[in-house]
Amino acid sequence: MLFKNKKKDSETTSPDHELPPGLALKVENVSKRFKNFEALRKVSFEVPRGQCLGIVGFNGAGKSTLLQIIADTLQASEGRVLTRGRVVAMLDLGAGFNPEYTGLENLYMNAAIFGVPQTVVDERLDEIEAFAEIGNFLRKPVKTYSSGMRVRLAFSLLTQIDPDIMIIDEALAVGDAYFAHKCTHLIKKYREEGKTFLFVSHSPTMVTSLCDRAILLDHGSVLRDGTPANILEYYGAMIAQLEREAEIKQIQKENGRTVTRSGNGKAKIVRFELTDEKDQPRRNFKINETIKVSCVIEAAETLQDPTIGFMIRDRFGNDVYGTNTLNLKKATGTLSESEQLEARFQTQLNLGLGEYSLTLAVHKGSNHLEGSYDWFDRLIVFQVLPNHEPAFSGVAYLPTTAIVTREIQALNRTYEIGSTIDFSDSGNSHRYRSAGWQLPESYQTWTNGNLSVLELTSESFPSQATLELHLTPFVCEALPSQNVEIRVNGTTKAKFQISETKRLSIPLEGLPKQGSLVIEFVTPDASSPAEFNLSSDKRVIALAFHQAKLLPVS
């Protein structure tokens, strides 16, 4: 992960030029040529302080080249870039990390670039480790990391840096959904503090949720500059422009709203309407009210089974709900030239309060990427108003009931004999972990303290079974192995020592025919890494569980 640090006002040319007040960044007529290829052509834009600018475009449009020039890791052929404050850039995955050094050593090295001494990193190591969540890999060479782990390491350092301008180039794309959500929270926190962001992503949801504004790069030039919704609509139309005769139009309405229309014209949307249950056109509806969407198309040539659909988006441009005739298994048949066809949809607005828009489309196949005939973005804007439903938060209304009781209900821990219990952070072990466990990590869950419990219930346990375990012990020079005792329903079934990662098969006899199976793992040698000066990790751990399985003995 490449970090670049610029603390003072800087530019690529004239040192006497002053950045205008209120601006964090100014790009003026920047061009970049590589031998016979021109990557950027006179790119110009400004970014006010505190704004998050999304940069979208096809691969090869010049996005990464532009970010490298702004980060001052690449020299422009022409033009200049002015920045105010410290610039932190996360660009090429893996650059800036020495693969032979451990993650911790790379943290020290990169922190020093930003003027953060090793003593400060040590003081804040608990916080950094908690954010990264890569466990013992922090003390292993970076060459052993997955791409997602490198992103985790890089973002963990950001928790200790105070950037003025942050540049992110698709870094979140290689992380898992949980960590991407965590990083999004960090970005939003920095945004609340008035930081400036440049964000490159192919994810419309990320751009609309994080950015105030977006620019569309195409063949090295700024093709569009506007709201994320408008830019992404146009970009989506470009993606769907598979045939050369396809046309894209953006129309400015009288109320200032921009709508995007694209397609190859093989069919046209000639009439549309949004009505209530009584077929009355309306633009204001109450929560949970029934709506009808009508769309009439006309074929410009013979078409076989054209698909007609609609999409509802929120005011940020995020897709809320969409469907079409193909998804609903409604055949449209063969349309002759000039023949018209109407599709009528009916649904309930189980949505939160606010403004929404309706997009209509007619295309080939399951989506407009297979062949867009006519795609009309944000044709209709409508409001969802309060109803008599209970107050709630969010974009979706989910009818909910509640029971309040002092009789605590037991969790359903039903276990299917022979199935795998997965202890990764996306696994199913939460269903069976009863007590004595740390929070799950990427590939494992550590025990917590000297006693950890799994609880399984079944209507038919085998009388004899094998408990298969995949474990990694916490060991070091001063603690070469872990002593483990396994008890089932209070009776000791096995005792052993483990000094390395192993797959174990533990025979279990005399199991109950049905009911609950309480499996206890007693670990008297559980200790914390901090106790042995291995790290600042104060968790008391003994075994990292990867998988477990109960198999019948035939």
Alpha carbon dihedral 294, 297, 303, 308, in 10-degree steps, equals: -30
Of 193, 226, 259, which closes a domain?
226
Mean pLDDT to the nearest integer, 34-46 = 90
Do 341 and 281 belong to one domain? yes
Mean pLDDT to the nearest integer, 425-442 = 91
Do 312 and 454 belong to one domain? no
- Is residue 474, in this structure, part of any structural domain at all? yes
More confident residue, 92 or 314: 314
Mean pLDDT to the nearest integer, 436-456 = 93
Do 264 and 374 belong to one domain? yes
Distance (Å, whole) CA 485 – CA 254: 76
Q: Residue 547 forms beta bridges with which residues? A: 422, 470
- Is residue 241, in this structure, part of any structural domain at all? no
Do 182 and 292 belong to one domain? no
More confident residue, 65 or 388: 65
Closest CA to 81 of 14, 21, 16: 14
- Is residue 344, in this structure, part of any structural domain at all? yes
Task: Look at 148-157, 393-402, 468-477, 544-553 and tell me which has the smallest mean pLDDT.
Answer: 148-157
Q: How do 78-83 and 10-11 pair as beta strands?
A: antiparallel
Which residue bears the tokens 């603690």?
A: 479
* pLDDT of the residue at 198: 92
Distance (Å, whole) CA 463 – CA 467: 13
Distance of CA 449 to the CA centre of its chain: 33
* pLDDT of the residue at 194: 86
* pLDDT of the residue at 393: 85
Name the token pair of 477.
Answer: 């020079």
Of 173, 196, 226, which closes a domain?
226
Do 429 and 504 belong to one domain? yes
Task: Look at 83-87, 156-160, 462-466 and tell me which has the smallest mean pLDDT.
Answer: 156-160
Do 139 and 177 belong to one domain? yes
Name the token pair of 13.
Answer: 């040319």
Count of alpha carbons within 13 angstroms of residue 122, beta-carbon side: 7
More confident residue, 521 or 236: 521
- Is residue 284, in this structure, part of any structural domain at all? yes
* pLDDT of the residue at 259: 72
Distance (Å, whole) CA 243 – CA 238: 10
- Is residue 413, in this structure, part of any structural domain at all? no
Task: Look at 113-127, 177-191, 286-300, 438-452 and tell me which has the smallest mean pLDDT.
Answer: 177-191
Do 380 and 486 belong to one domain? no
- Is residue 396, in this structure, part of any structural domain at all? no
pLDDT exceeds 80 at position 13: no
SS (H, E, C) 213-227: EEEEEECCEEEEEEC
- Is residue 216, in this structure, part of any structural domain at all? yes
The rounded percent of the chain whose pLDDT value lies above 90 is: 48
Do 435 and 476 belong to one domain? yes
Q: Report the CATH number that the domain containing residue 196 is assigned in CATH.
A: 3.40.50.300
SS3 105: helix
Mean pLDDT to the nearest integer, 343-367 = 91
pLDDT exceeds 70 at position 38: yes
pLDDT digits (tens, 9 = 90+) for 155-208: 787 777 778 898 887 655 555 666 777 777 778 888 888 889 998 887 777 788
More confident residue, 17 or 91: 91
Domain extent for 87: 10-226
Q: What per-residue string of b and e applies to 423-433 under the rule 16 or more CB within 10 Å gives b?
A: bbbebebeebb
* pLDDT of the residue at 5: 52
Name the token pair of 165.
Answer: 């301008």
* pLDDT of the residue at 370: 63
Do 188 and 62 belong to one domain? yes
Mean pLDDT to the nearest integer, 15-39 = 83
pLDDT digits (tens, 9 = 90+) for 133-143: 787 888 889 88
Residue 210 one-letter amino acid: L
Mean pLDDT to the nearest integer, 526-546 = 90
Closest CA to 378 of 396, 362, 361, 366: 361
pLDDT exceeds 60 at position 432: yes
Mean pLDDT to the nearest integer, 235-250 = 61
Mean pLDDT to the nearest integer, 429-450 = 93
Distance (Å, whole) CA 201 – CA 209: 12
Number of domains, the chain? 3
**Angle at alpha carbon of residue 393, lines to 387 and 399, rounded to 5°:** 60
Q: Which residues, including other chains, have CB under 8 Å from residue 337's CB and lie 6 or more apart?
A: 299, 300, 301, 302
Q: Report the CATH number that the domain containing residue 278 is assigned in CATH.
A: 2.70.50.60
Q: Could you give the residue ranges of the DSSP H alpha helices within 42-87?
A: 63-70
Do 149 and 263 belong to one domain? no
221-226 sheet: strands from edge to edge: 87-90, 165-169, 196-200, 52-56, 213-218, 221-226
* pLDDT of the residue at 9: 44
More confident residue, 44 or 123: 44
User: Counting runs of H as helices and runs of E as strands, what totals does the chain give?
Assistant: 8, 32
Count of alpha carbons within 13 angstroms of residue 42, beta-carbon side: 0
* pLDDT of the residue at 389: 78
pLDDT exceeds 70 at position 218: yes
Do 86 and 221 belong to one domain? yes
* pLDDT of the residue at 171: 58
- Is residue 507, in this structure, part of any structural domain at all? yes
Distance (Å, whole) CA 73 – CA 34: 15
Distance (Å, whole) CA 138 – CA 236: 40
Do 174 and 61 belong to one domain? yes
Distance (Å, whole) CA 416 – CA 356: 45
Instruction: Tell me the pLDDT band of 369, cut-offs 50, 70 and 90.
Output: low
Mean pLDDT to the nearest integer, 453-474 = 94
pLDDT exceeds 70 at position 464: yes
Mean pLDDT for the chain overall: 86
Name the token pair of 413.
Answer: 């821990």
Of 226, 260, 289, which closes a domain?
226
Q: Report the CATH number that the domain containing residue 470 is assigned in CATH.
A: 2.60.120.260
